[in-house]
Structure 1
Amino acid sequence: MSACRYEVKRKSWELPFLAEPEEVAGLRRIMRLHLNHWGLPGAVEAAQLCVSELVANVITHVGAGTPTTLTVSMKGTHLRLEVQDPDSRSLPTLLSAHSEEEAGRGLSLVDSVADRWGVMLTASGKTTWVELATELSAANGHVSDPRVSKAEAVLALYGYSEAAPRQGTSLLSLAAAEEVSVHLIADLLHWLCAHGRDPDEAMDRAQIRFESEAGQLA
C-alpha cells in the first residue's frame, strides 16, 4: 500500500498598506500568523526581520505614508517576500560591512538572512524582493517534523480505505485529510471512554500539549 501525502496549499497573497512606523508591528504579527498557518514556523523570524527592514527602507528613503504593498508567495521551496513602492529613483543600497553610516544597515541584516534578494524596476515604481530558504523538500509539502510524519503515517493507514477510493488516488486533498483526522480523533475518544477513561480530560491535555509545542515554534 502506498503512503498518502497531504498537500499544503500556499496561495500567494498581497497586502496594501501605508508605510508608517506604527504599521510594522502589525505586519510582523501578520507574517507570524500566516507563516504558522502555512506550516512554516521556522521561517517566521527571518521573514519578520526582512519585512521590517524593507518597510523601514521605504519610510526612510521614499517617505512616511507611501502607498506600499507586501506580497508573500512561494517560489519552489523558497519563501518569497516582495515590497512594492512607487519610487523608482531611490534604490536600496547595501553598504560595506565597515561603513559607519546608519542608513543601509537594514539591508545588511536582510542580506545576512536571505538566500538572495534584489530590486526590480516596474512601470509603477520598484519592487524589492527577498527569497528565504525553508525546510521544505517540496513546494506543497510539510516541513520535516517527526510529529507530522507520525500523524501522516497513521492517517495513511486509517484513511486509506475511506478517502483514497473516493478520490481515485492516494494523494488526498487537505480537506479530505482533515475529515479523516476528525474521524480518527472521534474514534480515539470512543476508545478512551470504552476503557473507563475521561475523553474530555484527554482532549484538554492534548490541547494544552499542542498549544505548548506550537508556542515554542512561534
Structure 2
Amino acid sequence: MVMPGYEATEPQARCVLPFEAAPAEVRLLRRAAVRQLECWGMVMAADETELLVTELATNVVKHVGEGVSAALILERRGGRLRLEVHDQSPVAPVVKTAGCGDESGRGLRLLAAMAVDWGTVLSAAGKAVWCEIPLTDARRCRRVERAVEVLENYEKVECTLGQNGRWREVSLVESAVELIADLLHWTTVGGHDPDDILDRAQMRYEAVSGAA
C-alpha cells in the first residue's frame, strides 16, 4: 500500500528507528534522528526534525501507552524529508480546541504549522502519523513554534481532523488574519503608521528567510 503524500520515486535515503514509548526513549530517539541526518549531510533540518520527532513520539507515550513498541522512519525524497511514526493503536489523532485543558492537540497543531504536508494512515497493524518538511535551513522553527503558541491562544476555535490529517476549519489561518488586523488597529491608536509597520515586518521576514 502506498501511503498518502508519497512521491512515485524511490526514497533517496531511508532509515528505520524502532523505539519503546517512554520519555527517556524519546530523548534517545531524537538524538538518533539527528545523528542520522548528520550521516546524510542534512544538518540543516536537524532543529526542525528534533522538534517534530519529540512531538510525534510523545503523542505515542501519552495516547497509546508507555512501554509499547513503535518505530520512526526517516526518508529523503527529492527536496523533502519525510518522518513517519508507526504505533499499534488504530485510533487516529484529533486536534482539540486550544486551551480546553487538554494539551493533546498542541503537537498536532505545531506539526500542521511546520510541515508542508502531513496526515494519518490506518492499517491492520495500527496507524502511522507522517509529515514532510522541506530540506532548507530550519532556524525558523522556533519562530513557527512561537507563532503557533500565540495563535492557538488568540481565538478559541474548535477544530478536528479527518483521517487524512486535513483541517475541518483553518483556525490558525483565521486567527492569524484577526491578530494582524488587531495589531494594525493597535498601531493606529498608538500613532504609528500601519503601512510602515507592515513594511518593516515584511523586511524582517525577508531578511530571516534569506538568511535561512
Please classify the TM superposition score into its range, dividing by the shorter chain length.
0.5 to 0.7
1:71 corresponds, among 59, 70, 73, to: 73
SS at match of 1:103: helix
SS at match of 2:104: coil
Provide, for residues 129-152 of structure 1, a one-character-per-residue CA deviation record: whole Å limited to 9, x for no partner. Answer: 01011139xxxxxxxxxxxxxxxx
User: How far off is 1:65 after superposition?
Assistant: 0.7
Contact 1:49 1:110 in 2 (8 A): no
User: How far off is 1:59 after superposition?
Assistant: 0.8
SS at match of 2:51: helix
Aligned to 1:112: 113
User: How far off is 1:107 after superposition?
Assistant: 1.2
User: 2-side partners of 1:34 and 1:16: how far apart?
Assistant: 13
User: How far off is 1:119 after superposition?
Assistant: 0.2
User: 1-side partners of 2:21 and 2:96: how far apart?
Assistant: 23
TM-score if structure 1 supplies the norm length? 0.54
Provide, for residues 74-125 of structure 1, a one-character-per-residue CA deviation record: whole Å limited to 9, x for no partner. Answer: 222110010000110x211223456553221111121221111100011211
User: 1-side partners of 2:19 and 2:102: how far apart?
Assistant: 28
Aligned to 1:125: 126
Q: Structure 1: state its 5+ residue gaps.
A: 1-8, 137-218
SS at match of 2:13: coil
Aligned to 2:46: 44
What aligned pairs does 1:1-218 form with structure 2 within 5 A after superposition?
10-88=12-90, 90-97=91-98, 99-135=100-136
User: 1-side partners of 2:33 and 2:19: how far apart?
Assistant: 14
SS at match of 1:68: strand
Q: Structure 2: state its 5+ residue gaps.
A: 1-10, 138-212
User: 2-side partners of 1:70 and 1:121: how far apart?
Assistant: 16
Q: Which runs of 4+ in 1 moved over 6 A?
A: none
User: 1-side partners of 2:55 and 2:96: how far apart?
Assistant: 14
Aligned to 2:197: none
Aligned to 1:190: none
- Bigger CA radius of gyration: 1
- Aligned residues: CA RMSD: 1.9
User: 2-side partners of 1:62 and 1:47: how far apart?
Assistant: 22
